[in-house]
Amino acid sequence: MTAPFRSSIMTVRPEWIDYNGHLNMAYYNVLFDKCADEVYERIGFGPDYHRITGNTTYVAEFHLAYVRELHVNDPVTVTFQLIDFDAKRFHSYQEIWHQDGWLAATGEALTLHVDQSGPRVAPMPDDVLNKVRTLADEHASLPRPSRVGASIGIRRK
């Protein structure tokens, strides 16, 4: 694979626009999440996963960086790159791309696999873990994005 997973085309909805005339900060997360849903379907965390297994995923941490404003009706796609994983968690990186070819935002997540009976962090079933491993193998040759692991703070001299 020469590129990360790319979502279907999504459109910025009018009800997502804030009083400044651009996409409200919360809806960048919606776009990232919709892409993750498409990836999840591929790796076994589809809509029936919780009902069948009693397991789900929780995002433990998410870092979002706004690069360029999005506006109503902008068409976008979102990428998803698996950075790392183990039996109980995975680290991913995403980018929102305008159809005109410019980067709008980046997101980075640490996601936990959770047994809802606890709830507690628990290993993924073997079939799902194998699909995650396959995705990791597909993404292994991709360069590590420069924004992965970025910290936040006021830099002082």
Inside any domain, residue 157: no
Residues in the chain: 157
For tokens 């941490």, name the residue: 61
Please check whether residue 42 is in contact with residue 127, taking contact to mean a CB–CB distance below 8 angstroms. no
Q: Supply the CATH number for residue 115's domain.
A: 3.10.129.10
- Nearest 5°: CA angle at 56, between 40 and 128? 50
- Would you give the DSSP letter of residue 17? B
* Cβ partners under 8 Å of residue 26, min gap 6: none
Residue 155 lies in a domain: no
Q: Point out the residues of the chain with pLDDT beneath 50.
A: none
Helix, strand or coil, per DSSP, at residue 83: strand
Give the residue numbers spanning the domain of 87.
5-139
Per-residue confidence (pLDDT) for residue 2, from 0 to 100 = 61
Q: Kindly report, residue by residue over 1-34, the tens digit of the pLDDT.
A: 568 999 999 999 999 999 999 999 999 999 999 9
